[in-house]
C-alpha cells in the first residue's frame, strides 16, 4: 500500500519531466512537411530549435500577444511576457499542442476567448500561474493532466469546470482568493485520477468537501481552517501527504481519531494552536507539530499500537515515525523518554 502510494507520487514527478520536450527527440525527421515548416514558420522573435522541431520558445521576449503558432507545435513556451489575452486566431492551426507554459503574463479571465482552450484536443499540461485570472478558465479540454493556476486572483470556480477532466492528476490553485463559498458541493466530482490538490494560501475556513477518492496529496497551508470534520478522511482512503501548516486548528477542532488512518505518511500541522499531540497511526512516518502550544506529550497515551500484527521485512515491528518536529511549543528539551520508547525508529526529532 505505502509503496503504491510512493510510486504514484514518483510517477507524478517523473511524468512532469518525461513529457517535456525530450519527447520531441522521437520526432520523425523524415516527415518533409514538418521539416519544411521548421524553416518557413518560426514566429518573429521566437526560437525554433531544429533538434526539437515540436517545441517553440517564445518566453522572456516582452511579447504583448501570442504570435500565430505553427501547426507542428506540441510544446509551447510563452512564460514571462506581457501577454494579456488568449485569442483563437493565434492557435487556429495549432491543434496538436500538448503543453503550454503561459505563466507570468497578464492574462485576465475576461480576455480568454470562450473556446480557445477547449480546442486544444491534445493538451495535457496547462500552466497559467501568476496571471490576472479571477476565475478558473472554462471550458477546459477534457484530456488535461496538469492544471497549474497558482498566484492569480481566482475566487470563482465555474460550475462543472472539472467534471470531465478524468485524467487530471494535479490541480494547483495555491495563492488565490478562494473562500469556502467558491466551491460548489460537487466541484471536484469527475476528477477520478486526481492525485494532488493544492489549495494552500487561500481564505478557506473549512476543509474542502467532496474530494476525489484517489487524492494522495492535499495541501491546505495558510488558510483559516479551525476544524476537521469527523470521518473527513474516509472519503479519501489513499491520503498520504497532508499539509495544514499555518491554520487555526486547536484541540477542539480535531476529532479523536481523525488522523489515525493507515494511509497517512506525512502529516504537517505546524503553526496551529494545538495543546496536545493528536492521535496518529503507527504507519505515519513524518509529523510536523512545531509552533503550536503543546506543553507535554504522554508518550504511552499516544503510542500507536496498531502495526504489530503485520509483517513487513522493510520495517521492524512498531510505529514507523522517523521524523518529528516539536520546536516552538511550550515544552523544553529533553525529548520525553516515553516518546523515544514508543517511536523506536525516530531518527530526527527537533525540539
Ligand X SMILES: *[C@@H]1O[C@H](CO)[C@@H](O)[C@H](O)[C@H]1NC(C)=O
Which residues are at the interface with ligand X (CB under 6 A)?
A: 68, 79-80, 92-93, 101, 103-104, 127, 142-143, 166-167, 257, 260, 279, 298, 300-301, 304, 306
Shortest Å distance, C-beta 152 to ligand X: 13
**Cβ proximity to ligand X, 22 vs 257, nearer residue:** 257
**Cβ proximity to ligand X, 88 vs 181, nearer residue:** 88
Q: Which of 177, 173, 130 is nearest to 155 (CA)?
A: 177
- How far is residue 244's CA from residue 208's CA, in Å, rounded to a whole number? 12
Locate 49 and state its grid cell.
530549435
**Cβ proximity to ligand X, 112 vs 126, nearer residue:** 126
**Cβ proximity to ligand X, 6 vs 68, nearer residue:** 68
- How far is residue 329's CA from residue 181's CA, in Å, rounded to a whole number? 33
How far is residue 34 CA from its own chain's centroid?
35
Q: For 66, which DSSP code? A: P
Q: Which of 303, 305, 265, 267 is nearest to 285 (CA)?
A: 265
- Helix, coil or strand: residue 237: coil
Shortest Å distance, C-beta 142 to ligand X: 4
Shortest Å distance, C-beta 324 to ligand X: 16
Residue 163 contacts residue 139 (beta carbons within 8 Å): no
Shortest Å distance, C-beta 247 to ligand X: 23
Residue 230 contacts residue 254 (beta carbons within 8 Å): no
Locate 248 and state its grid cell.
487555526
Q: Which of 314, 327, 284, 317 is nearest to 302 (CA)?
A: 284
**Cβ proximity to ligand X, 181 vs 213, nearer residue:** 213
**Cβ proximity to ligand X, 225 vs 284, nearer residue:** 284
Shortest Å distance, C-beta 193 to ligand X: 8
Shortest Å distance, C-beta 289 to ligand X: 16
Amino acid at each position: 500500500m505505502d509503496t503504491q502510494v510512493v510510486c504514484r507520487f514518483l510517477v507524478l514527478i517523473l511524468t512532469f519531466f518525461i513529457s517535456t520536450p525530450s519527447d520531441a527527440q522521437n520526432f520523425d525527421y523524415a516527415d518533409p512537411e514538418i521539416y519544411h515548416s521548421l524553416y518557413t514558420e518560426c514566429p518573429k522573435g521566437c526560437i525554433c530549435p531544429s533538434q526539437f522541431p515540436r517545441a517553440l520558445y517564445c518566453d522572456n521576449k516582452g511579447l504583448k500577444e501570442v504570435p500565430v503558432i505553427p501547426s507542428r507545435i506540441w510544446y509551447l513556451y510563452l512564460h514571462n511576457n506581457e501577454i494579456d489575452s488568449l485569442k483563437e486566431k493565434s492557435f487556429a492551426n495549432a491543434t496538436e499542442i500538448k503543453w503550454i507554459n503561459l505563466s507570468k503574463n497578464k492574462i485576465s479571465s475576461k480576455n480568454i476567448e470562450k473556446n480557445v482552450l477547449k480546442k486544444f484536443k491534445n493538451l495535457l499540461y496547462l500552466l497559467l500561474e501568476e496571471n490576472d485570472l479571477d476565475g478558473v478558465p472554462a471550458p477546459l479540454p477534457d484530456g488535461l493532466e496538469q492544471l497549474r493556476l497558482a498566484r492569480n486572483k481566482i475566487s470563482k470556480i465555474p460550475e462543472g469546470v472539472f467534471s470531465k477532466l478524468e485524467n487530471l492528476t494535479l490541480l494547483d490553485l495555491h495563492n488565490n482568493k478562494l473562500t469556502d463559498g467558491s466551491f460548489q458541493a460537487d466541484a471536484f466530482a469527475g476528477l477520478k485520477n486526481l492525485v494532488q490538490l493544492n489549495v494552500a494560501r487561500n481564505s478557506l475556513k473549512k476543509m474542502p468537501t467532496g474530494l476525489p477518492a484517489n487524492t494522495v496529496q492535499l495541501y491546505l497551508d495558510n488558510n483559516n481552517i479551525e476544524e476537521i470534520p469527523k470521518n473527513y478522511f474516509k472519503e479519501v482512503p489513499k491520503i498520504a501527504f497532508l499539509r495544514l501548516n499555518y491554520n487555526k486548528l486547536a484541540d477542539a477542532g480535531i476529532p479523536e481519531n481523525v488522523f489515525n488512518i493507515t494511509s497517512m505518511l506525512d502529516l504537517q500541522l505546524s503553526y496551529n494552536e494545538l495543546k496536545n499531540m493528536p492521535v496518529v497511526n503507527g504507519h505515519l512516518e513524518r509529523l510536523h507539530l512545531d509552533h503550536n502550544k503543546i506543553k507535554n506529550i504522554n508518550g504511552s497515551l499516544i503510542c500507536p499500537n496498531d502495526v504489530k500484527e503485520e509483517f513487513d521485512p522493510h520495517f521492524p515491528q512498531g510505529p514507523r515515525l522517523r521524523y518529528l518536529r516539536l520546536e516552538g511549543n511550550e515544552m523544553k528539551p529533553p525529548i520525553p523518554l516515553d516518546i523515544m520508547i514508543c517511536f523506536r525508529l525516530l531518527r530526527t526529532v527537533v525540539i
